Amino acid sequence: MTRRAGEGSRPSSPVAPDGPAHEHAWKMTLHLDGCHFYASCYACECGAQFETYDERDVRADSYSAIWMDNEGDEPCKRCEELLAGAEPIHRRTGSEDKA
């Protein structure tokens, strides 16, 4: 999957100090789906990278509860917290400012 800067919530392209802005061509290199989170890693050919980590938010999307493991012998503690109203974590990290 390739995404151009500016699509959706992806970071915008920075302006290079000695030239025009570099438009990153983000390529997803990894995607993980867990019971209470999903995470993705992206890279551009220039070497820039960024990662996303988002916990499911049942308040914003009740369908998210389908993924959550809150039953059985060893229910997921974080799933239980999110279902009880805990604030979901949303993180963006990386070096998307390379040009």
Does 4 fall in a domain?
A: no
- Residue 84 CA to residue 34 CA, distance in Å, equals 18
In this prediction, residue 27 carries a pLDDT of: 95
Q: Which domain holds residue 85?
A: 24-94
pLDDT in tens, 30-89: 999 999 999 999 999 988 999 999 999 999 999 999 989 877 788 899 999 999 999 999
- Residue 54 CA to residue 92 CA, distance in Å, equals 9
Does 74 fall in a domain?
A: yes
For the record, the structure tokens of 15 come out as 């302006």
Does 17 fall in a domain?
A: no
Does 71 fall in a domain?
A: yes
Task: Provide the 3-class DSSP secondary structure of residue 63.
Answer: helix
Q: What pTM, to 2 d.p., does this model score?
A: 0.69
Does 12 fall in a domain?
A: no
Provide the number of structural domains found in the chain.
Answer: 1
Place of tokens 């959706």: 8
Residue 15 has pLDDT above 60, yes or no: no
Q: How far is CA 47 from the centre of its chain?
A: 19
